[in-house]
């Protein structure tokens, strides 16, 4: 197998509860994650390695092409686990559609797609569980981005439990286009936690139980008001996030929340007509607006 075409699907956090920093430097989290149809496209081609182990070309000049790119890290982790590449290499053409540094897991999704592609190119037929284990070494969101759908994430985010899929709700995304540093957001959150200004864990525990019950029973009227993200108060773009949420709800969205460490706001809407109305209103303030929908799967090799 000489090549593979993949899609790398974005993600949302319908619920995100961040706890204390662990001894390993990560934070303990509890999150309900949801895959999106919004995706990057990646084309992989096996080479003789003469041009380099991993060569990345991308339509977005802001995407790094060197070792800091999570696709490179994914190939490295794959080779560390399998030792099958030898002197060969891989060329990658990345068509970037997921906004960068926006809390949508774009880099993790690309890494997930890379692991699936390498598994196919080198004809190893490793089970998805093994790929998810490898992905956890690259980034906390990579295992979910391999699986996709609707899932509960625990630990630092790498412990994934599949949930019954939600319907393909229409979603409107609003982003400033500015890349957000996840590390800085978590540092500000730590300061809020230490000063007692973070949302009490007991309150979030109650909301989580109600939300999980709504998901299990497909009681959408229970889901909509119980979306939470306790990183919202720690983002430097808190005012912008609040404005996006208010605009979305004012235009008829049934729910609106920041995803991940931000600063993208997602709005769940009742249908395509409402999606267009919400996107129109958000577009007055947000440089980037995208209409997409929930997806019941993650990264995927399609050719």
Is 53 among the residues known to form the active site? no
* Pair 17, 150 in one domain: yes
State the residue range of the domain holding 143: 3-166+297-301
Give the per-residue pLDDT at 267. Answer: 98
For residue 232, what is the DSSP state? G
- What's the rounded Cα separation, in Å, for the pair 100 and 28? 24
Give the per-residue pLDDT at 264. Answer: 94
Give the per-residue pLDDT at 115. Answer: 98
The CATH number assigned to the domain holding 230 equals 3.30.70.890
Give the per-residue pLDDT at 81. Answer: 98
* Pair 138, 264 in one domain: no
Per DSSP, the three-state class of 210 is: helix
Q: What are phi and psi of 158, to 5 degrees?
A: -90, -15
- What's the rounded Cα separation, in Å, for the pair 225 and 241? 17
Helices 272-282/238-250 angle, 10° precision: 140
* Pair 225, 106 in one domain: no
Ranges assigned E (strand) in the chain? 3-21, 27-47, 54-58, 89-95, 150-154, 159-162, 170-175, 228-229, 255-258, 265-269, 288-295, 300-301
Which tokens in the block code for residue 144?
């979910």
* Pair 135, 27 in one domain: yes
* Pair 30, 71 in one domain: yes
Give the per-residue pLDDT at 236. Answer: 72
Record the pTM: 0.95
* Pair 100, 181 in one domain: no
Number of independent structural domains in the chain = 2
Nearest to 96 by CA among 56, 143, 42: 42
* Pair 81, 221 in one domain: no
The CATH number assigned to the domain holding 112 equals 3.30.230.10
* Pair 162, 174 in one domain: no
Split the chain (303 residues) into runs of 10 and give each run's mean pLDDT.
94 94 89 98 96 95 92 98 96 97 95 98 96 96 97 95 94 91 87 84 94 94 94 83 95 96 92 96 95 97 94
- What's the rounded Cα separation, in Å, for the pair 269 and 257? 12
* Pair 129, 209 in one domain: no
Distant-in-sequence, close-in-space partners of 139: CB < 8 Å, separation ≥ 6: 70, 73, 107, 108, 111
* Pair 201, 285 in one domain: yes
Give the per-residue pLDDT at 37. Answer: 98
- What's the rounded Cα separation, in Å, for the pair 17 and 103? 14
Which tokens in the block code for residue 297?
């799967």
Return the number of other C-beta atoms located less than 10 Å from residue 2's C-beta: 8
Using alpha carbons, list the distances in angstroms from residue 106 to 4, 167, 197.
Answer: 19, 22, 30
Q: Which of 11, 73, 96, 245 is catalytic?
A: 11
Give the per-residue pLDDT at 192. Answer: 86
Give the per-residue pLDDT at 84. Answer: 96
* Pair 117, 197 in one domain: no
* Pair 200, 270 in one domain: yes
Is 11 among the residues known to form the active site? yes
Q: Which of 61, 141, 245, 297 is catalytic?
A: 141
């Amino acid at each position: 197998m000489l090549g593979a075409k993949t899609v790398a699907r974005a993600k949302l956090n319908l619920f995100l509860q961040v706890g204390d920093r662990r001894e390993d430097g990560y934070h303990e989290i509890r999150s309900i994650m949801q895959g999106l149809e919004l995706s990057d496209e990646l084309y992989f081609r096996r080479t003789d390695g003469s041009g380099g182990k991993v060569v990345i070309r991308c339509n977005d000049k802001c995407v790094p092409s060197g070792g800091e790119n999570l696709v490179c890290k994914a190939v490295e982790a794959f080779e560390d686990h399998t030792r099958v590449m030898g002197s060969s290499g891989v060329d990658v053409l990345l068509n970037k559609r997921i906004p960068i540094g926006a809390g949508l897991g774009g880099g993790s999704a690309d890494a997930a797609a890379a692991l699936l592609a390498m598994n196919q190119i080198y004809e190893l037929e490793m089970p998805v569980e093994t790929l998810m284990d490898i992905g956890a070494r690259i980034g906390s969101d990579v295992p979910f981005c391999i699986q996709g759908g609707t899932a509960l994430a625990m630990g630092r985010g790498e412990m994934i439990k599949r949930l019954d899929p939600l319907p393909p709700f229409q979603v409107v995304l609003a982003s400033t286009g500015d890349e957000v540093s996840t590390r800085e957001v978590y540092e500000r959150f730590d300061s809020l936690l230490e000063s007692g200004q973070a949302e009490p864990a007991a309150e979030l525990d109650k909301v989580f139980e109600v939300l999980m019950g709504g998901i299990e029973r497909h009681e959408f009227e229970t889901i909509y008001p119980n979306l939470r993200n306790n990183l919202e108060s720690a983002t430097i773009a808190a005012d912008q996030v609040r404005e996006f949420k208010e605009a979305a709800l004012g235009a008829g969205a049934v729910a609106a929340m920041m995803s991940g460490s931000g600063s993208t706001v997602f709005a769940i809407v009742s249908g395509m007509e409402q999606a267009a109305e919400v996107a129109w209103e958000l577009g007055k303030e947000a440089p980037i607006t995208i209409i997409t929908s929930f997806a019941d799967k993650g990264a995927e090799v399609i050719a």
